[in-house]
Amino acid sequence: MHYSFSSRDYVILALSYVFLGISAFHGRAADVLPLIGAVPAWVFLLAGVLLNLWCIPLPGIHPRISGRAAQQALPAPRAAAPDAAVQERVAAEAEPVPVPPPSVPRAEEKLGRGLAKTHKGFIDRIAAVFRRSAKLDASILAELEETLVGTDIGVRTAYALFEAVQGKMQSLEGPDAAMEAIRQEVESILAARENPLLIPEGVKPFVIMVTGVNGSGKTTTIAKMAYRFKNEGKSVLIASGDTFRAAAIEQLEHWAVKVGADFVKAQQGADPSSVAFDGLQAALARGHDVLIIDTAGRLHTKENLMEELKKTKRVLSKKLEGAPHEILLVLDATIGQNAIEQTRQFNSAIGVTGIAMTKLDGSSKGGVIVGIANEFDIPIRFVGIGEDMDDLQPFDAKRFVEALFLDND
Ligand SMILES: Nc1nc2c(ncn2[C@@H]2O[C@H](COP(=O)(O)OP(=O)(O)OP(=O)(O)O)[C@@H](O)[C@H]2O)c(=O)[nH]1
Ligand SMILES: [Mg+2]
């Protein structure tokens, strides 16, 4: 250890030896200086020892701190700014400090986190059945049947999964193998619906009509899709076919501005199909690659929502052959099995060509996606796992199943 001694320390050290000397030769010192005789020898001894200790560093005991430590503890004196050359040399000599990469979660991680609740509400419940016994006997099968029916996948799909396990029962060696059989069945159901929404080269504008009940996530899904298409270098026009509320039009305009998409504004209460028509006309005139049309989830008149959507669809196809090229149904995962019934109604009324399932991150009922995939021959285009712009992921069955079966605990 390095200690710095000031001149005062040297004086004290010398004084300590003087006192120690006096205590050792007290009698003789008293002869020279009678005053010394009035003070007992032990007082000199004590003073000598204490002063000596003051100067001798005893780490951990000594009250004084080491010179180097003192320098570190004190704020550095303000030095004149070194010139650029010196700064450069210091920087070159300094050890490189590795800068950790910014923690941007990968899409897989985000999906895993987004599906954590559904894992608990669906996969974990099945796994718990198999955990109860190492043997796959009749009672475990009965429990599995009951559990599957109790999840959000719907009765029909519950039995499809159950029969898949039951059929392989003889060859399954234990709970892990049974779980793997379920996983394979889920993956094969979902893989059949994997068909991402691709914008074909020759179709311009590619018209997407976005439908779904109110609050399902239509408007935010439109924003996320527009953001995605813009990032792919496409020009996007958004039309506000939800004229039911002024706030809905403003919300959509806000998103359009945010993602850099063009926007066709409507008046509150305007006929949604005429807004869609104006949107298409504008997209054709301005040469946009993609037109996305928002629609209402409810209406202010008694007129049937489905009739309104049919009319919009008709108007679009009259103006441009083949339009709308995509009728995207946005489903809220938090409503569980009701999403199956919604799909049935929208599909029979207007013919749904793609599904986006939103709010998977906030739901334990996301297993319903398996039920929808099993019951309807409709591609699942996107899954929504949060409120950020990149929280709408194209549906990838393999990746989805991996995330779904991932135990986050
Ligand atoms: N956590 C989460 N929230 C979402 C997701 N998608 C949409 N939301 C939220 O759901 C709420 C409703 O979304 P909107 O896009 O306004 O739904 P909408 O279908 O347009 O609703 P209406 O216009 O009333 O018919 C908003 O607060 C969104 O931020 C998602 O994937 N995850
Ligand atoms: Mg909306």
pLDDT in tens, 176-200: 898 999 999 999 999 999 999 999 9
Q: Is the pLDDT of residue 51 over 90?
A: no
- Span from the CA of 80 to the centroid of ligand 2 (angstroms): 61
- Per mean pLDDT, which range of 65-79, 277-291, 389-403 is the poorest? 65-79
User: Which positions ≥6 away from 192 have C-beta within 8 Å?
Assistant: 373
- Per mean pLDDT, which range of 16-20, 297-301, 306-310 is the poorest? 297-301
Ligand 1 nearest-atom number relative to CA 214: 25
pLDDT at 60: 47
| Residue bearing the CA closest to ligand 1, atom 29 | 387
Q: How confident is the model at residue 355 (pLDDT cuts 50, 70, 90)?
A: very high
Query: What does the alpha-carbon distance between residue 299 and residue 245 come to, in Å, rounded to a whole number?
Result: 9
- Span from the CA of 332 to the centroid of ligand 1 (angstroms): 8
Task: Determine how β-strand 326-332 pairs with β-strand 206-211.
Answer: parallel
- Span from the CA of 215 to the centroid of ligand 1 (angstroms): 6
Q: How confident is the model at residue 4 (pLDDT cuts 50, 70, 90)?
A: low
> What does the DSSP assignment read for 56-122?
S--TTT-SSPPHHHHHHHSPPP-PPPPPHHHHHHHHHHSPPPPPPPP----HHHHHHHHTHHHIIII
φ and ψ of 187, to 5 deg: -65, -40
> Cβ < 6 Å from ligand 1: which residues?
212, 214-220, 242, 248, 297, 358-359, 361-362, 384-387, 391
List, for residues 306-323, the tens digit of each pLDDT value: 999 999 999 999 999 999
Residue 405 half-sphere exposure, CB side, CA atoms within 13 Å? Answer: 16
Looking at the CA of 221, name the nearest ligand: 1
- Span from the CA of 293 to the centroid of ligand 2 (angstroms): 11
Two tokens, residue 386: 């949060």
List, for residues 262-272, the tens digit of each pLDDT value: 999 888 889 99
Tell me the residue type at 256: A
